[in-house]
Chain A
């Protein structure tokens, strides 16, 4: 038998001036199931809360309604008070008679009548409320960071420095990502390698970080605090323990004509190689697609020269199963394939290069040792044309978004070029200069005013070769005139795009991505580093185009989210979650599809001998966020939502 207490708050005059609280109290007193109804000036005050607690204990209440302000205001307060008096907090509901009644209606009688109905409806609901217990989920205090670029390294170091255990997985043979390829970085022009490589070493040597390079994520299962991750350790064909990193094999490998990925095709590498000289770990891998032995069954020069017998052609891919509590996804970006812009001649003219190739040319550790030279003949170009938005902000051919970093790196390129070739001329075709950021606008101004970069506002329509020059035709929209610039080299500010397998990987992780493949945050403004899947966080350009400072900031933010999670032994979650009646579930999986959080799993029902009888939906309490979308889908009414059950809502409507 229900014993409900109704506590009508005057909220000073806020409610009492419009709603006849005594009448409301009287109406509730005579309502079936109500044991006590009282009114008071301020129930949220200390004496107010005490009187509720006293009533709970003295009357043995089974439910509490506080008719007061919005539940968004004081639901937590009153539920806490109930809990202190020994009543399960989820047996307390708030009737909103202030924001949604006394404050918005002028007529006292009407407001009173409405307040009675609102309160009555919730009395009927609370009669059907159940005791709910917070959901406790254990936490494995080990983070997985996917991607060993600057974002992944930063996140790994932040977590590790706070004492957390980290597994850092990188699919290439070395840490570093795109940042390791860069020459100098805007807006300070410090050398990328100089600030990056110490971080790489720090991560590799950190006692709390387990580094897995040349490894990929194969499978992710489980939920926040309790992920099961399978990592594929790709065969390196080099024993990491035995190898000393002397490099003899790299010198002697006869297969030397492989286009080097790290130098963006501007230099070649052998079949056994480290991606770059400062690689971490600085031990080679064998590229089995190009290795002569793998192709012809003969060669093994590397085996002969290796003094520690580190080469092993029989090595196989291995799989590693990890228990993980939180995941930081920092898989980075790629640059868009520029060959789709036929008019820019990329791929046709060797001296039309991408921004990233220009980085390699300008880098002291690059193929030219930092001398900016034309790929075709090695001569220093006298005129360089930079074309911005070569792919970005172009819904018809490229991508419709702004790649964010190109305005800055183009200014940097023009600057680096001016510093290295004092007589050279640079021209930049641009749509707008987007230089929002600390010191950014000053930086682009410097490129223009001090380093003589000539900015032309307009797009390039055509590019062709004539008398050994690359002729660039565009339009100067400020002058309203066509322009033609004879250039020795053209640099395309190519768009930043997601990794080619990003959409597939989003599925592996069970997170969302946009139409391009950039991973979705849980809320663009308020939860920018979380994904909709609890326990998986984002860092860096895998979410959207970002520069280094933004990537690092987001990585630290993601790390702090991981650390907040790791600061608890168990996760406590609101028990407002879905639950399924397995007896009536037909296993149509509509709920599985509709769930925004992949929180519903398929569960086998077996007989005692283990034979499958049928399969039903099962809600994972660790993942469910309590939206109730599944409940509405379920035709047989098998799934229900704790706190907002079908019975409760039915009663609330019928109580109106």
Chain B
């Protein structure tokens, strides 16, 4: 049985037994390489579920839809390991309880999609720990490497060119599973910290501030870059932040639901080489 069939029947089972009230998964999209989230509530509809290498969107953000989890009933969600990590972060930041979420885990490697063992966020602990180790030795992204090698001036021009295309549509924010603030700072106009007109300056401020807010929280799922209509490589900023928190504070976001937010905690011997 293919993994897609396996999970379709598992979803049917979960829905018909009443274990979960909804399965959040992937359905066919507008083009063959795109998948669209589907929200299945009836066992008869589970054959709408698709699971293949195009299923890249992190679906955890949908769990925070107002009222979805307020009845204490369970919801099953398709997650790769990044998704499970974001689930842990949402729990650590008190936005949901993992007990209400059943994980249908999968991993995409090249063409191949395999199932992950476990159904509760805590079941994936050792896999996440392994991913943390692996990230340390992960070779840097090609573009990131190129950027790091540039002079500050060149880097500034690179980002200036990128951000000049930003139209402040906030699709990055909408797509990001970690952007769940009831009010985004950019929507606060007293004071207006971020210029809302889509000039390059305000665009730069917005994207830097967003990257800062995601530091230590981003699981590098890539939702932001995929959502960006201007094709700005936003994930690069987040990636750089992840390098920093892991390198300086040994923080790998989403280890478990008890993890303390990296910017709300500290160690007295945190590194401080740059402070005069």
Contacts and interface: CB of A to CB of B under 8 A. Distances in A.
- Complex A–B touching at CB under 8 A: yes
Interface of A: 583-591, 593-594, 615, 633, 635-638, 646-647, 650-651
Interface in B166-199: 180-185, 188, 190-193
Interface in B133-159: none
B185 A636 contact: yes
11 contacts: A584-B181, A587-B95, A589-B93, A590-B263, A590-B264, A594-B263, A633-B263, A633-B264, A636-B182, A636-B184, A637-B185
Contacts of B182: 583-586, 636
Those 5 A-B pairs whose CB atoms lie nearest each other, nearest first: A650-B191, A584-B183, A636-B181, A590-B264, A593-B264
Contacts of B263: 590, 594, 633
Nearest to B209: A635
B260 interface: yes
B183 A593 contact: no
A139 to B, nearest CB: 32
A588 B93 contact: yes
Contact of A646 (B94, B181, B191, B260): B191
Contact of A586 (B180, B191, B193, B260): B180
B264 A635 contact: no
A224 B73 CA distance: 41
A587 B265 CA distance: 17
Nearest to A586: B182
B264 A638 contact: no
B190 A587 contact: no
Nearest to A638: B183
Contacts of A594: 263-265
Contacts of A593: 260-261, 264-265
A647 B193 CA distance: 9
B95 A586 contact: yes
Contacts of A651: 191
B120 interface: no
Nearest to A587: B94
B213 interface: yes
Interface in B182-228: 182-185, 188, 190-193, 213
Contacts of B181: 584, 586, 635-636
A636 B213 CA distance: 10
Contact of A647 (B184, B191, B264): B191
Contacts of B213: 635
B61 to A, nearest CB: 14
A446 to B, nearest CB: 43
A647 B190 contact: yes
Residue of B180, B182, B261 with most chain A CB atoms under a 10 A cut-off:
B182
Contacts of B261: 588, 590, 593
Nearest to A581: B183
Residue of A588, A594, A650 with most chain B CB atoms under a 10 A cut-off:
A588
Contacts of A586: 95, 180-182
Contact of B193 (A584, A633, A646): A646
Given A588-B93, A593-B264, A646-B193, 11 more contacts: A588-B94, A590-B261, A590-B263, A591-B264, A594-B264, A615-B94, A636-B188, A637-B183, A637-B193, A646-B191, A647-B190
A589 B91 CA distance: 11
A605 to B, nearest CB: 12
A584 B95 CA distance: 14
A590 B190 contact: no
Given A646-B193, A647-B191, A590 B184 contact: no
Given A584-B183, A636-B185, A637-B185, A650 B265 contact: no
A585 B95 CA distance: 12
B contact patch SS: loop
A590 B181 CA distance: 13
Contacts of A583: 182-183
A588 B183 CA distance: 13
Nearest to A654: B191
A591 B263 CA distance: 10
Contact of A588 (B95, B184, B185, B191): B95
A589 B94 CA distance: 7
Nearest to B188: A637
A583 B191 CA distance: 17
B59 to A, nearest CB: 20
Nearest to B178: A635
B5 to A, nearest CB: 39
Nearest to A632: B263
B111 to A, nearest CB: 39
A617 to B, nearest CB: 10
B177 to A, nearest CB: 14
Residue of A587, A593, A594, A635 with most chain B CB atoms under a 10 A cut-off:
A635
B193 A635 contact: no
A651 B265 CA distance: 30
B248 to A, nearest CB: 18
Contacts of A637: 183, 185, 188, 193
Contacts of A584: 181-183, 188
B146 to A, nearest CB: 30
Contacts of B183: 583-584, 636-638
Nearest to B90: A588
Residue of B95, B261, B264 with most chain A CB atoms under a 10 A cut-off:
B264
B238 to A, nearest CB: 15
B205 to A, nearest CB: 13
A633 B217 CA distance: 13
A589 B44 CA distance: 41
Contacts of A647: 190-191
A646 B264 CA distance: 19
A635 B93 contact: no
Nearest to A629: B264
Interface string B243-275: 000000000000000001101110000000000
Nearest to B64: A586
B67 to A, nearest CB: 11
Contacts of A587: 94-95
Contacts of B185: 635-637
Residue of B188, B191, B260, B263 with most chain A CB atoms under a 10 A cut-off:
B191
B268 to A, nearest CB: 10
B244 to A, nearest CB: 17
A615 B70 CA distance: 13
Nearest to A593: B264
Interface string B83-96: 00000000001110
A62 B184 CA distance: 32
B192 to A, nearest CB: 8
Contacts of B193: 637, 646, 650
Contacts of B94: 587-589, 615
Contacts of B265: 593-594
A589 to B, nearest CB: 5
B32 to A, nearest CB: 37
Residue of B180, B190, B260, B265 with most chain A CB atoms under a 10 A cut-off:
B190
B256 to A, nearest CB: 16
A590 B93 contact: yes
A615 B184 CA distance: 18
Interface string B20-43: 000000000000000000000000
Contacts of B95: 586-588
Nearest to B265: A593
Contacts of A633: 263-264
Contacts of A635: 181, 185, 213
A211 B216 CA distance: 50
A638 B188 CA distance: 9
A638 B190 CA distance: 11
A647 to B, nearest CB: 5
A637 B185 CA distance: 6
A25 to B, nearest CB: 29
A460 B72 CA distance: 64
A74 B190 CA distance: 31
A636 B182 CA distance: 7
Contacts of A636: 181-185, 188
A635 B211 CA distance: 11
